[in-house]
Amino acid sequence: MMQLELFERETIGADEMGRIFQEIRQAYWFLRNTRPGQYGDAKRRRLYRKIAFHKRRLLLAGAERVEILNMLSCYRLKCRCGTPHCKYFS
């Protein structure tokens, strides 16, 4: 009998990982530079969904939860790296 995998574990290569980080970074750039209510919020909502989607993918692929949260925090300009230069955002 075939066993059905409910969640197929995705492996994300370095290329793909870079692309995901880039997309999240761009999404936060837009969110930082617009205010709710400006031009309607459809795009902002879409970006938040996109970030959530990528975040879930990273978690499912086995990335460290803390690492991801730190990275997202840095992209919101609240760096938690604890080093003089941010690892994720320069």
Q: Which residues bind Zn ion (CB under 5 A)?
A: 74, 79, 81, 86
Q: At closest approach, how far in Å is the CB of 85 from Zn ion?
A: 8
Q: At closest approach, how far in Å is the CB of 77 from Zn ion?
A: 9
Give the CB-nearest residue to Zn ion: 86
DSSP alpha helices (H): ranges in the chain?
A: 14-33, 42-60, 65-75
Report the residue count for the chain: 90
Give Cα 67 to chain centroid, integer Å: 11
Q: At closest approach, how far in Å is the CB of 80 from Zn ion?
A: 6
